[in-house]
Amino acid sequence: MKRLFGKKKKAATTAPESPSSSNRPFQPVTSSSQTKSQQSLSVKPAYLNLQEFTLPPQAYSVFATARDEEIHLDRCRRCSNVFVHTFMEWTTKIIAGIPPPHHEYTAISYVWGDYILLPLKCTNCKTKFRIPMHSAYRFRRLMMMTANSGDTVWLDALSIDQEDDEEKAKVLAVMGDIYSRAKTVAVLFPEGDRDGFHLVYDLTQAATAINNNKLEFSQSGQDGHPDTRLQELSKVCADFYGMLDQLDLTLYRYTYWRRAWTFQEWALARNLSITWEGGMPLNLVPVKTTILHAATLTAVYAFSQGAYATIKMGFPQAAVPGKFETLRRLFPDEEAFNPPGMVDEKQLVFDMLMSSMSFGSALGLRAAKGRDLSRLADPEPVHELYDLRPGLPLSAEERFRHRLCMALHSFGMSKREARYEADLVNCWASMCNIRCRYNVHDSYAVALQEMLHSLRTNHGVQVFNFHVTTSGASGEVDTLFQEYARPHDQCNARGKFNDVPIFSGRADTAVHLRLAIEKPLVLPRLTGSGVQLRKIKGAAIEFVVPLTNKEEVLYHMSTAVSGTADQFVFGNVLSNISDVLEVASLDSLQRSSLVIVSIPLLSDSPDANAKYQELGGLVVWAVVPTIGLNGSFVARESLNGTLVLAGPGPDNAGDGRGNGQWAVLAYLTLTDHQSGTLLLPVDVHGLDCPCPADHGVGYMNLTLKSPVRRGVVNGALLDDRIIRGVVRFEPASCTAY
């Protein structure tokens, strides 16, 4: 019987005795120098022995003698428009500024951490300057993260002139292009991330074993091999997905993935090579393409073959989309994968019904035209593997929206850390090339305000707000933006909404209620123009219930919830609301109240006398601070056209007749058992045609869409339900500041 995996090649544990014996002091073993059998791995991925990847003590003296030792450069920006560094006969070129078009380079990704101003000197022109860098050792380590001597890199600390604010702004505005156009992104894991590095390394080993046996995942590949061979491959596949789950669960522990900037660099990379700061300096391991290749092979195979699959993954067919979604979150690839919120739900239903014929929407692949696997080199990018390139959006606007969704989804996987608050916005905004004013000393709220203004005005993107989280600039900014920037799991069903709340205006009910309750009492102060308010005729506050009175809250919420809870696919969302109230702190419940509002809805087709017929009252809700609501009213805000509860602002009580300073108090929402919780947009330009607006009315056309569940093979698409009608405006408008 042909052996499935070859023996593991023993790794060197010490450096060469004399650095001069080789151009590179610690020569890595590259796959190009191995035979095919040597590339194969053991059945159980061989977890790294720490001794194999521990940097020998003499290496530190080779790389640096002092943390602030002066670094000598052969050339610098001033004398040659490029930096050149040579150490131990290894030369690296460093791009100055923005990389030129079609220029091949490696982008370096690492955690800045605590840094000093490291002194550098150009031996050619004698220029001296300093850059932010942890130590001379780390700088030299970064300079050797290339495949060959003479290769070019882009290193943010040196490539960006740290003294030139104008250049900083220009580079930050195209940071996404810099990392996505690099041939590869070389990642240096910090010493404290040893386990994370080992986990990704082992994941790559398992992926390599899968890729070496890729023909087994085609119908023509399984040609009578003994069962033991397929059992071995099944074990490797189960290990692969087990490690993927482990990485997903432990990601928050590792400094590299917690930092705001580095994860975005990881997300945009076409390919990734990794090494560990506590290990051999030059053992760069290519990981991203290898892992994506293996995951796509196995996921497509398991989903399309179903019960007929002879290679087992360790989980049922229905779990394949969820497992692959984990892969897409951890290793984003904008060329291969559709971002969250860009799902064709009708095609998704077809995939679930006909999984043997179609799998693109179910797995989030841009296209699903398979290729002859035997003709592919190993590894190939995923978009080459399945002819995905035609599915990539062609227009700049579409590509921007897709990258924005991907960046926000990746960023929101876990809590991020940054040296400056503003970088929690600037990092992903720059990765999407959003042009706006960058100031690292801005507060998070101010940075978010700048970015949202650019998104809405420069890119034409509608971004919904769900909560009032600022004082001033009323209705402009929701600082809980990140909580709504990725698809929510549906609390009362085993599934996930297929859209992004900030773009669709739909959120999960439990998530929305929890965030409304936990909203901070003290709000950051912003300066802005605010929004215009149009009062809704006949709208009224029906009940105000303290959240501490849980029975009353649940009773009144039951009047504001529509749809059917069949207890099979959709549970009763009131149970989830009760759970949120049970775990909320007493302090947060005491400072908030539930408000039930009724809004008269009229027929959108006037009769011969131009009169709109009453359809009934729409019952909606919001959570507001437990304060007096005297003078409050229901209105349409002008930024996104959603219905809000407004009232006297904190600086001026007004007189209850529209005079004085007003503020948005809360965003009104409608909750449905099947469709989640939705904002209430009202259009002033008509529903079906670009006819002249009737300035006395606004048009509501709210679609209650039940999300299609990827995990339910042979699932069905439920019919959409539509709330359609007209609301009347009061003649006068006012401004919320």
Picking from 214, 204, 289, 195, the residue whose alpha carbon sits closest to that of residue 240 is 204
Question: In the sheet that 128-133 helps form, which strands lie side by side, from edge to edge?
Answer: 71-73, 116-122, 128-133
- The pLDDT value recorded for residue 567 is 78
* DSSP string for 515-565: HHHH--SS--B-----EEEEEETT-EEEEEEETT-HHHHHHHHHTTEES--
Residue 405 lies in a domain: no
Q: Is pLDDT above 50 for 372? A: no
55 DSSP 8-state letter:
P
Do the domain assignments include residue 698?
Answer: yes
Interior angle at CA 413, CA 408 and CA 414, nearest 5: 120
When mean pLDDT is compared across 76-85, 341-350, 433-442, the lowest value belongs to 341-350
Round to whole Å and give the CA distance between 498 and 330: 18
DSSP character at residue 28 = P
**Confidence at residue 633, expressed as pLDDT on a 0 to 100 scale:** 95
pLDDT at 94 over 80: yes
DSSP type of residue 441: T
Neighbour count for residue 719 (Cβ, 10 Å): 9
Q: How far apart are CA 233 and CA 312, in angstroms?
A: 8
In the listed set 485, 500, 518, which residue is the last one of a domain according to the structure? 518
Residue range 635-675, pLDDT digits in tens: 999 999 999 999 987 655 444 444 458 999 999 999 999 99
pLDDT reading at 537 higher than 90: yes
**Torsion, Cα of 727, 729, 734, 737 (10° steps):** 0
Residue reference for tokens 């400056």:
420
Q: Give the C-alpha separation, 326 to 333, whole Å.
A: 13
Residues 426 and 571 in one domain: no
What gap in Å lies between CA 216 and CA 575, rounded to an integer?
47
Number of H helices, E strands in the chain: 24, 23
Euclidean distance between the first and final Cα of the chain, in Å?
77
Does residue 728 sit in the same domain as residue 634? Answer: yes
Residue 471: other Cβ atoms inside 10 A: 17
- Together in a domain, 505 and 643: no
Least reliable range by pLDDT among 104-118, 358-372, 697-711? 358-372
C-alpha distances out from residue 319 to 394, 421, 474, 503, Å = 32, 38, 44, 27
CA distance 92 to 169: 26
Kindly tell me the burial class for residue 629, based on how many C-beta atoms sit within 10 Å of its own C-beta (0-12, 13-18, 19 or more): middle
DSSP string, 587-649: HHHHTEEEEEEEEEEE-SS--TTS-PPEEEEEEEEEEEESS--TT-EEEEETTT-BEEEEEEB
What is the Cα–Cα distance from 412 to 391, expressed in whole angstroms?
25
The C-alpha atoms of residue 552 and residue 478 are separated, in whole angstroms, by 29
**Residue 730, SS3 per DSSP:** strand
Examine residue 202 and state whether it is found in any structural domain, yes or no: no
Rounded to an integer, what distance in angstroms lies between the CA atom of residue 87 and that of residue 55?
18
Distance (Å, whole) CA 314 – CA 323: 11
Poorest-confidence range of 91-105, 413-427, 624-638? 413-427
Model confidence pLDDT, tens digit, residues 263-322: 888 888 988 999 998 876 556 778 998 999 899 889 888 888 888 888 999 999 888 888
- Chain CA centroid to CA 97, Å: 27
pLDDT on residue 48: 36
502 and 544 belong to one structural domain: no
Residues 547 and 429 in one domain: no
206, two tokens: 């398992």
Question: Strand 643-648 vs strand 633-637: parallel, antiparallel, or unpaired?
Answer: antiparallel
With respect to residue 626, please indicate whether it lies within any of the assigned structural domains.
yes
Of 489, 518, 547, which residue sits at a domain end? Answer: 518
Amino acid at 385: L
| DSSP character at residue 402 | H
- The mean predicted confidence, pLDDT, of the chain is 80
| Per-residue tokens: 420 | 């400056």
| Residue 468 clears pLDDT 80, i.e. is over it | yes
Question: Same domain for 564 and 671?
Answer: yes
The answer to whether 120 and 132 have CB atoms below 8 angstroms apart is: no
Q: Which sign does the torsion angle of CA 486, 491, 496, 500 carry?
A: negative
- Number of structural domains the chain divides into: 2
User: Quick check: helix, strand or coil at residue 84?
Assistant: strand
Q: Which of 518, 542, 563 is the last residue of a domain?
A: 518
Q: What is the sign of the dihedral through the CA atoms of 375, 379, 384 and 387?
A: positive
Distance CA 39, CA 604 (A): 68
- Mean pLDDT calculated for residue range 617-641: 91
Record the tokens describing residue 264, joined without a space. Answer: 């975005």
Render pLDDT for 37-46 as a digit per residue (tens, 0 to 9).
333 333 444 4
pTM of the predicted structure, to 2 decimals: 0.81
Higher pLDDT, 349 or 465: 465
Kindly state whether residue 302 falls inside one of the protein's structural domains: no
**Which amino acid is present at 57?**
P
* pLDDT over threshold 90, residue 629: no
* Residue 428 domain-assigned (yes or no): yes
- 702 assigned to some structural domain: yes
Asked whether residue 488 falls in the same domain as residue 576, the answer is no
Higher pLDDT, 488 or 278: 488
- Checking if the pLDDT of 107 tops 60, the result is yes
3-state DSSP assignment of residue 462: coil
Whether 502 and 533 map to the same domain: the answer is no
What is residue 282's predicted lDDT score, i.e. its pLDDT? Answer: 53
Q: Report residue 724: phi and psi, to 5°.
A: -135, 130
The two structure tokens encoding residue 668? 């009104």
Is the per-residue pLDDT at 156 higher than 60? yes
What is the signed CA dihedral for 369, 374, 376, 379, rounded to 10 degrees?
110
Q: Are residues 553 and 604 in the same domain?
A: yes
Q: What is the domain range of residue 668?
A: 528-736
The answer to whether 474 and 530 have CB atoms below 8 angstroms apart is yes
Strands of 228-276, DSSP E: 272-276
3-state SS class at 298: helix
Q: Are 573 and 513 in contact (CB under 8 A)?
A: no
Has residue 12 got a pLDDT over 80?
no
Residues 445 and 542 in one domain: no
Lowest mean pLDDT: which of 431-440, 462-471, 472-481, 485-494? 431-440
Structure tokens at 710: 């990827």
Among left, alpha and beta (phi > 0; psi -120 to 50; other), residue 89 is left
What is d(CA 495, CA 319) in angstroms, rounded to the nearest whole number?
Answer: 11
Q: Bigger pLDDT: 56 or 533?
A: 533
Statement to judge: residues 589 and 494 lie in one domain: no
- Interval 570-579: pLDDT, tens: 899 999 999 9
Q: What is the pLDDT of residue 4?
A: 39
Q: Are strands 676-679 and 506-507 parallel, antiparallel or unpaired?
A: antiparallel
State how far the alpha carbon of 546 is from the alpha carbons of 489, 552, 554, 594, 623, in Å.
27, 8, 11, 6, 10
DSSP code string of 306-319: GGG-SS--SS-GGG
Burial class (CB in 10 A: 0-12, 13-18, 19+), 568: exposed
Looking at the fold, whether 502 and 540 belong to one and the same domain comes out as: no
pLDDT of residue 345: 63
Q: Is the pLDDT of residue 594 over 60?
A: yes
Would 431 be classed as within a structural domain?
A: yes
